[in-house]
Amino acid sequence: MTTIDATFFSDKLSRKVSYSAIIPEKSRKEKSLRTLYLLHGYSGDRKDWFYAGNIEQLAEEYNIAVIIPSGENSYYVDHPSGAEYGKFIGEELVEETRSLFPLSTDQKDTWIAGLSMGVSVK
């Protein structure tokens, strides 16, 4: 398994953003991986899933890529102030990660889940 911490410039948020990607070893044989976008809870960060669970083991066991963005305390929704967290998660991050990793583009192979504020996505 490979775990990568990455940063890229988000047009939707007008700044650099970070995420972690877990890519299972078996993926070298796959043309495209099923993908879970996993969202952390309020006052947490993307590393919470590594410290408080076995997400790397599960990604390897089920042969799925897991993408964990930093959502700050945004509730992952677009804000009137202009910070488009919903579009960042639902569009921009998906495009970015699909361009870098062998992720399936099929909607049935792409999931989103979270904890606390991470389940408030519209």
| DSSP-derived pairing of the beta strands 64-69 and 15-23 | antiparallel
Assigned token pair, 120: 């408030």
Q: What are phi and psi of 120, to 5 degrees?
A: -95, 10
The predicted pLDDT at position 113 comes to 87
The predicted pLDDT at position 66 comes to 97
CATH assignment at residue 70: 3.40.50.1820
The Cα 72–Cα 25 span in angstroms is: 29
Assigned token pair, 46: 């993307």
Mean pLDDT of 54-64: 92
Residue 92's pLDDT band, with cuts at 50, 70 and 90, is very high
Give me the domain span that covers residue 87: 2-119
User: For the chain, how big is the Rg over CA atoms in Å?
Assistant: 14
Residue 50's pLDDT band, with cuts at 50, 70 and 90, is confident
Number of domains, the chain: 1
Residue 79's pLDDT band, with cuts at 50, 70 and 90, is confident
Residue 65's pLDDT band, with cuts at 50, 70 and 90, is very high
Torsion of CA 63, 89, 7, 16, to 10 degrees: 180
